[in-house]
Structure 1
Amino acid sequence: VFEKGGYLYTFDIKTRNTEKIPVIIADDDLFARNEIKDASLSIRTADLSPDGERVLFGARGEVFSVPAKKGITRNLTQTPGVHERNPNWSPDGKYIAWISDESGEFEIYIRRSDGTEKPVQLTKGADTYYFNISWSPDSKKILFNDRKLRLRYVNIDSREVVPVRQAVYGTIYQFAWSPDSRYITYTEQTENDNTVIRIFDTQTSKTYDVTDNWFSSSSPEFSNDGKYLVFTSARDFNPIYSQTEWNHAYTDMTRVYLVLLSRDTPNPFAPKNDEVKIQETQPSAVAKEPEKGKDKGKGKTEETRAGETKPAVTVKIDFDGIEKRILSLPVDPSNYGNVSCVDGIVYYNEYGEGRRQDGMKLKMYDLKEQKETELGNYRYTISSNYKKMLVAQGNKYAVIDLPKGPITLKETVDLSNMKVMTDYAREWKQIFDESWRQMRDFFYVENMHGVDWPKMHDKYAVLVPYVRHRADLTYIIGEMIGELTVGHSYVNSGEMPKPPRIKTGLLGAKISKDASGYFRVDHILEGANWSKELRSPLTEPGNEVKENEFILAVDGNDVRNANDLYSFLVGKSGTVVELTVNSKPSAEGSRKVLVTPIDDEASLYYYNWVQRNIRLVNEKTNGQVGYLHIPDMGVEGLNEFAKYFYPQLAKKGLIIDDRGNGGGNVSPMIIDRLSRQVTRSNMTRNVTVPRYTPGEAFLGPKVLLIDNYSASDGDLFPYAFRKHNLGTIIGKRTWGGVVGITGPLPFIDGADLRIPQFASYSAEKSEWIIEGHGVDPDIEVDNDPYKEYMGEDAQLNKAIEVILEQIKNYKGIPPIPPAPDKSK
């Protein structure tokens, strides 16, 4: 039986005839019916109107205008089947701009902010993916970046697209306008991977460097008065030292900086010296007449009161010597970003380690008072009139006056009316089409592996009208991108109906039904009860249960009439349960123990497997050889390596197990540690065992185990192991997928499409490596699945055999030489 093009067929092996199977399903299409969805649960971007009266949200493929306090929520697009995203309000309040694929490609559109006129398409002929947009302060131009590493702007009147920068090393993600709309500042990656800040003059089309690439700089923004350019830069070097080895790391390298754009701008941190001011006095008999047209006590002319307009800002930049006018705010080095400066107050976010959002803080620094103030845990954006701020915390938003002190959210924006009527047929077609376009624009090579990509779209598009469940769409997209024959090409569903999962309590044991009707504990998984993740419920002190004992009751319920013990433990994960146990299948002499079941035994089974391998290697090599397993090349894999590598440095040989490695990105760190060579030996008086430097180098031979589940960075690891001649590789050829992925791009329903975007090739010659083939072992050994399940690991046994032979040549370091005699 096989599937082809959405139909089932049978194939008769003898007659070689194919017959289509008729399938008729009576279905109410419950999961394909149009329904009202709450778009506030899918907010992607938020922007503030110029006066702060309204908030603009990009949510679930629509553009919403929501009142800050009272009023009507407007869906300005109402386009099911079109992905509208990244809306921005023009500074004059007249227009809203956003990116839309209504034309079949992502283009920039604008419409009047009140929604009274139809949208106008500004750009045409898009040849790639557009990321973000930014209005110029004069509301005449829109700046945007794209997948082809370009930064450009479009004039909304002439619709002319003007190039600003063609990058070479990566996408330009950060950019901003000067308050007079003349200059554009942006960050650009350079040849040493550091990002620099540059300024483009729209009048002369010249580009100037503000920072150099000795340090990485980001988040540039002009101050509202045009005096400063504020940004962040990693220029602080305060190392921390590892507790596992003599090595360092640099964290919290960033501060907030500002540039004095003009030589005439005073240094806000210049030394000050208070002096007595001499007041000039006038004769008391002379009364000064008020000037004509002035309002007493207010000092404003009638004309000024009527318009209340501020003079236009003209930005003056002296590029000569600008790098010498960079000043640091006196704040602690940390991780900063999203910097703004309004009327001499600098606002910025401080992020947690690794730029985690959960540790983010909003802070301000008053240049006049030279004081930093923490405002709270918020994201923020400032209105274009510089009087209001939109702050966000989780999914709560509030519009407040520009703060001068800590923020308390009293009233939040009412999101309850951000409802959208879905049309799943149109929405699913859009998601299918966008998935195809994203692959076209982001796939690591433009030739799409020689596949006729437009043909693949048409081949699978005919199936989309038959989709009746979100999982069907995911399947079709998966089949389409599978035509590219590449690893790391994944798709996960967006919003999809899912039944609630009820976690069953597990005991960390193998249990069988006894003839008596009770349940017998056949085997208890070894745990490390000091670790929350490796807790084995039946082994915890004070409530131990032994192997071969019987479970008679759960929470007082006799288990003899049950076929499955776990029927008593449904929903009991993390809940204290009373077990009645005995060494014999009888209530007489039984005892009661209190245990807390776990919801997943995978970590326990993994721990037991690793411990068994360590014991096996230790026993068969008489303690001379170490063993460690690396489950992935992420945090868990790095932790496993650190836990087991350093304690076994004194061994004569080491078996490194890369089998089943799920990939990640830390393999270069591990290879670096395995590649270390001893440079010198060390001794200390009264210590008879010499040491060496570096102290974390492994002296003896190494063997690496691989299999067909060693994947991604688990592929790159054995490739590097062989390239650096680190030892013998044993097992089966690896998975063979090293074209890498990054985070997903947005979809209407939150779908997750992972696109292979970058690849490795040979450092010696211009040819591709690993992808589609994998890394071959030096010695091929396959494990028989049945024997492996029964405890016989042929690959590990071969590794032990090989390394026992290799350690016969182990030399170690030379003995301590005789003490020198310097009296002669």
Structure 2
Amino acid sequence: MPRSRSAALIAALCLSGVTSAGAGTTGFYRQPAIKGEQIYLVAEGDLWRVGTQGGDAQRLTTHNGLESQPAVSPDGQWLAFTGQYDGGTELYLMPAAGGVPKRLTWEGGGMRVWGFSSAGEVLYTGLDARPGSQLFAIDMKTGQRRALPVGQASDGALSADGKTLYFTRSGLRGDNARQYRGGAIARLWSLDLANRAEAQPLVAEGNNDRRPMPYRADGADGAERIAFLSDRDGTVNLWSVDAKGADPRQHTTYKGWDIRHAAADGSRVVYALGADLYVIDLAKRDAARKLDIALGGDFDQMRERWIKKPQDFLTDTAFAPNGERVLLTARGHLATQGVQQLRRAELPQPVDGRCRKGEFSADNKQVFAFCDFSGEMEVWRFAANGTGKPERITHGAPNATVTQRRELLPSPDGRWLAHSDKEGRIWLTDLKAPAPANTREIARGLLDEPRLHGWSPDGQALAWSMPLRHPDRHQLQLYNMAQGSTHTLTTDRYDSGAAAFSPDGQWLYFASNRNFATTGNPSPWGDRNTGPFFGFRSKLYALALQPGLRSPFAPKDELESATEKKADEQRAEDKKATDKNPTERKPDDKEKKPDAKAGAAKPTIQFEGVAARLHELPVPAGNYRALRVDGKRLWFLDQDLDRKTQLKSIAIDNQGGPADILASDVRDYGLSADGKKLMVVRNQAAGAAPEVLIVEAAPKLPTDLSKLQVRWTDWQIATQPRAEWKQMFADAWRMHRDHFYDSAMHGVDWLAMRAKYEPLVDRLTDRFELAELMAQMVGELGALHSQVAPGDIRPAPEEPGLAGLGARFSRAPDGWRIDAIYAADPELPAEASPLAAPSVGLKVGDVITTVNGRPTADAPHLLELLRGQAGRQVLIEARQAGRSVLRIVTPVAQTRENQLRYNDWRFSRARAVEAAGQGRIGYVHLRAMGAADIADFVREFYAATDRDGLIIDVRYNNGGNIDSWILEKLLRRAWAFWQPRSPGGAGVYANMQNVYRGHTVVLMNEDTYSDGETFAEGFKRLKLGPVIGKRSSGAGVWLSDGNRLIDNGIMRAAESGQVDAEGRFLIEGIGVTPDIEVDNPPRATAMGQDAQLDAALAELKRRIAAEPVKEVKPGPYLRPVRP
């Protein structure tokens, strides 16, 4: 690329939608490869070939799955790539001109193709016995695979003579962050394969340098140089150095547009920039040349598509006040539907629009929803029967920033709409006033988003809850419509919400977390009693909205009986008087309670003193939410400890009966305005559509539900992919604008970023390309936790999944030899490999010769014969010590196989520590920071509380949110000791119970991420011991992970930064710096060494020797003082 070209010209070239190459379509080109006069590329999820001068491209693959990452053999005859022909992503080989693909790997995904060796082996990274990626070479003829002797290699290339391996250590593997400088920064290394010397850095640390491409600077006999991609000038450009890492040369000088993918053939390099491909000859030092490429074909993924399983995209449900219809929101579309054969009314909207949180109006004739038809999420109004055009109700946020809108609540009188937003504000929109003056802000939360609960029956009060002082404790508030005032009903001592008004306007029911009775063992004594657990915190309460009301749940007493008798006598007198004067009775007069008629005048709420008129309901504690009241019963959702949700109700009386369970596995429910009908949405089996019912508001479901089901699973939604892609791009941009923790967007002009990348949407041909485009855009913010993943992609045909035996194999003359059986804790048989089961009895070195009677010798891989067999008994024949044996084994699914492989590495560390520490040092490895990991911590940490030393290994930790639990346990101290009478001579035990008194170190590396880093930083700052290893990734800004696009695609945004007591941001973009820096050298690591673990052991031994854990010996027993 000429150095004089401006960024604006580059952008113009990237955005060009017109091509001179034939009459085809200009696409979005990715992952190019080059050989001779041919370039191979990825577009529309397929592989294509085009000449180095551009022109009309030829499609090489047509499979529905994704084919990507092409690499060409040295002779130009073969193309290696990853594909999904057989289900998961694997490595394939096909003739470069096109042909039938041949499968090379059986690994279940996780690989990337990088090129070929001069001997014809395919170089790729995949999974191995160690965590992280491993560089492999696989023979394209025999399928024999060998691991190259380097650890932590994320890509690689061999020199022309095959004697030197150039590779990249680390680098971001999922995040999108330009100019990243955290611990996982990519760096080029080289390894001399001719000797046993350790690999050496090729370039200095401090920049992201990756994708080495060796070439001869002056032809075949010239000196070797290594081209690579680097962001050392702020933008990813093409650079080169000599074989010793000296003489750096910059070959492109782009500003603002990063080179994304590159591949070389000798000194010629093809690379992707924006949506286009460029070719440059580094030896000639020519300017880069943009290729005009046209794609031909039917572009099936750009045609209108029908979504035939809307249940996969269902986001919201709402119930009509008259109890006749349900409002469904799926794939951003709205439809109303009744039971049985009633017509489904699909509400009209633009093809590039998305709607959320729809609600019916009080008269059932209209629907309100948040929709982005204007470019922002505004409130729109639709006719509920699907006729007419939608009408925009709101126009931005008066005197405030525009942001994501959250909840919507129409008033029962049809006049008002209450709605909330991401900034914690509550808005009130007058439906009878013109926009934009129709909307005003009525409340603002200080710490989190508010929750709208409901209107009073007459629409004169609105209930919500929001945190006012503590982020985890919502306080219940009432808004007085007449006075425009807000009244706080609960304190910040407890989390309160889920409020609902009684139909007579006398009571406000709500749930509050005020119960702290322990669940399970209430004592700190006992093995692994880590602390009290309060599993059922919610209680139900009622506030009397007028003074003097008696709770309908209050037990009968003599005063109530006298009052009821007097009321009965008065009603009898009134009836007698009416009977004497029948003309005073109106024709439609019927005996009924005065408040039963809908719309009857309701008593005025007496706000003064309302918080003191609190009553607790006689209902056991639970986990309650979503209260509704029909006058006779109080309805609510209750979640058990297994997170299963039931819809329950209690009679509003003083009989004290238990709650009735209407339904289980409930996803949502609603109550009609007259309290007579219920909408119940309950989950079905995995993959099945939720069941939607409209039933009578009775304690139990009827036996026959066939006529009460809402027929919605036959709903089919027509979509226009390119219009959806535009909507999703805009939505992704808005999500980051509204969720990113820094409202100044790290100083990036976010509007300019949209203008920069959005035109490229017109170049897209499939959903993967949209994900890559959005990744480029969010990468401008330079933050981690910025992963992007496609949602609804073109499905590949379902094939039988891989299954494994928890072992590694290699080919033998008569079958497949067992090279290793993954080890696990022998005291946990359920964690063992299938081949390690006592009933199997196979060992390393045995050869499996048949699977279910089929010979394995001719199979391309043993796992081919195990496809579809996960969880099923399989008969294998094996050669063991010269004899043939038959065994029944049960293979496991690929995900479980991966876990077994990882656990083998973890268990090997634990065994090494046990041996080296001679039983005095414990070991805990945390793979992540979630529910399974706290279980691992409890299992391993408390088993080591009597040790003198402890290693907590958070290398490769993927993050989560349990750091505080672990740090709290490590902070516990023994301040006293119990000495029981012990004839057997048992020693003392500590108070605090289950406390650890020894020395502790933490192991961390470049792949320690997110909460793994927070734990390491907290360990350092709390001075619990040294952190050993390498600087961590730098993902210090956390997120709620709730952002989902219209097709369920992931668009993560970093939301919550972390600062120290002085206000300095922690971890983000830099990582946690170890107290003792120790690297695991690439070659030594590949050979099985673990220098970091060795350093941790040495440090603990030093500390134990210098400051041994003091043995506590009780002194003389106390004796009474006698005179």
Partner of 2:606: 318
Partner Cα separation in structure 2 for residue 801 and residue 767 of structure 1: 34
Partner Cα separation in structure 2 for residue 528 and residue 806 of structure 1: 28
Is 2:865 aligned against 1:568?
yes
Contact 1:529 1:540 in 2 (8 A): no
Aligned residue type for 2:425: R
Change (3 A) 1:519 1:746: closer
Deviations 1:38-91 (A, max 9, x none): 335422222222322222212211211212343321211242111122221111
Alignment of 1:37-76 (within 5 A): 37-38=307-308, 39-76=310-347
Partner of 1:162: 440
Match of 1:149 among 424, 443, 453: 424
Contact 1:64 1:418 in 2 (8 A): no
Is 2:394 aligned against 1:123?
yes
Aligned residue type for 1:402: A
Partner Cα separation in structure 2 for residue 229 and residue 680 of structure 1: 50
Partner Cα separation in structure 1 for residue 405 and residue 338 of structure 2: 28
Aligned partner of residue 322 in structure 2, secondary structure: coil
Partner of 1:558: 855
Is 2:959 aligned against 1:667?
no
Identity of counterpart residues, as a percentage?
A: 26
Is 2:279 aligned against 1:10?
yes
Aligned residue type for 2:468: T
Partner of 2:458: 180
Aligned partner of residue 594 in structure 1, secondary structure: strand
Partner Cα separation in structure 2 for residue 315 and residue 530 of structure 1: 67
The structural deviation recorded for 1:464 is 0.7
Partner Cα separation in structure 2 for residue 27 and residue 315 of structure 1: 70
Partner Cα separation in structure 2 for residue 85 and residue 569 of structure 1: 45
Contact 1:375 1:407 in 2 (8 A): no
Partner of 1:201: 480
Change (3 A) 1:97 1:810: same
Partner of 1:381: 670
Is 2:382 aligned against 1:111?
yes
Is 2:835 aligned against 1:538?
yes
Deviations 1:535-567 (A, max 9, x none): 311121222212212222111122233342222
The structural deviation recorded for 1:517 is 2.7
Match of 2:543 among 250, 253, 259: 259
Residue-pair matches, total? 808
Partner of 1:679: 975
Change (3 A) 1:746 1:707: closer
Partner of 2:887: 593
Aligned partner of residue 353 in structure 1, secondary structure: coil
Is 2:557 aligned against 1:272?
yes
Deviations 1:245-294 (A, max 9, x none): 35212220112211111113222114334579698999xxx996672385
Partner Cα separation in structure 2 for residue 624 and residue 401 of structure 1: 66
Aligned residue type for 1:156: L
Change (3 A) 1:612 1:111: closer
Contact 1:134 1:176 in 2 (8 A): yes
Contact 1:673 1:696 in 2 (8 A): no
Partner of 1:793: 1090
Higher relative contact order (CA 8 A, sep 6+): 2
Is 2:396 aligned against 1:396?
no
The structural deviation recorded for 1:447 is 0.6
Partner Cα separation in structure 2 for residue 551 and residue 498 of structure 1: 35
Aligned partner of residue 757 in structure 1, secondary structure: coil
Aligned partner of residue 475 in structure 2, secondary structure: strand
Contact 2:825 2:907 in 1 (8 A): no
Contact 2:278 2:291 in 1 (8 A): yes
Change (3 A) 1:711 1:779: same
Aligned partner of residue 504 in structure 2, secondary structure: coil
Aligned partner of residue 151 in structure 1, secondary structure: strand
The structural deviation recorded for 1:310 is 4.4
The structural deviation recorded for 1:533 is 5.6
The structural deviation recorded for 1:93 is 2.5
Contact 1:363 1:376 in 2 (8 A): no
The structural deviation recorded for 1:318 is 2.4
**More deviation, 661-670/416-425:** 416-425
Deviations 1:301-340 (A, max 9, x none): 9xx9xxx964523242223332332112211111011101
Alignment of 1:685-704 (within 5 A): 685-686=981-982, 687-704=985-1002
Partner Cα separation in structure 2 for residue 344 and residue 260 of structure 1: 17
Q: Give the TM-score normalised by structure 2.
A: 0.69
Alignment of 1:714-729 (within 5 A): 714-729=1012-1027
Change (3 A) 1:439 1:535: same
Alignment of 1:271-350 (within 5 A): 271-273=556-558, 291-292=582-583, 299-300=589-590, 310=598, 312-350=600-638
Partner of 1:352: 640
The structural deviation recorded for 1:792 is 0.6
Contact 1:145 1:151 in 2 (8 A): yes
Partner of 1:28: 298
Aligned residue type for 1:399: I
The structural deviation recorded for 1:811 is 3.3
Partner of 2:921: 625
Partner Cα separation in structure 1 for residue 829 and residue 842 of structure 2: 19
Match of 1:604 among 900, 906, 909: 900
Change (3 A) 1:575 1:416: closer
Aligned partner of residue 380 in structure 2, secondary structure: strand
Structure 2 residue runs of 5 or longer lacking an equivalent are 1-261, 263-270, 684-689
Aligned partner of residue 497 in structure 1, secondary structure: coil
Is 2:715 aligned against 1:418?
yes
Alignment of 1:448-463 (within 5 A): 448-463=745-760
Match of 1:92 among 363, 367, 372: 363
The structural deviation recorded for 1:694 is 1.3
**More deviation, 263-272/145-154:** 263-272
Change (3 A) 1:360 1:497: farther
Is 2:414 aligned against 1:136?
no
The structural deviation recorded for 1:226 is 0.5
Is 2:960 aligned against 1:646?
no
Change (3 A) 1:614 1:114: closer
Let me know the Cα RMSD of the aligned residues. Answer: 2.5
**More deviation, 371-380/774-783:** 371-380
Partner Cα separation in structure 2 for residue 800 and residue 790 of structure 1: 19
Contact 2:680 2:694 in 1 (8 A): yes
The structural deviation recorded for 1:795 is 0.6
Aligned residue type for 1:363: S
Change (3 A) 1:119 1:213: same
Is 2:533 aligned against 1:249?
yes
Match of 1:367 among 642, 653, 658: 653
The structural deviation recorded for 1:102 is 0.7
Aligned residue type for 1:390: M
The structural deviation recorded for 1:186 is 0.8
Is 2:1081 aligned against 1:784?
yes
Match of 2:1008 among 688, 695, 710: 710
Partner Cα separation in structure 1 for residue 931 and residue 322 of structure 2: 46
Change (3 A) 1:32 1:572: same
Contact 1:492 1:752 in 2 (8 A): yes
Contact 1:700 1:812 in 2 (8 A): no
Aligned residue type for 2:998: G
The structural deviation recorded for 1:532 is 7.4
Is 2:523 aligned against 1:216?
no
Q: Give the TM-score normalised by structure 1.
A: 0.93
**More deviation, 11-20/501-510:** 11-20
Aligned residue type for 1:818: P
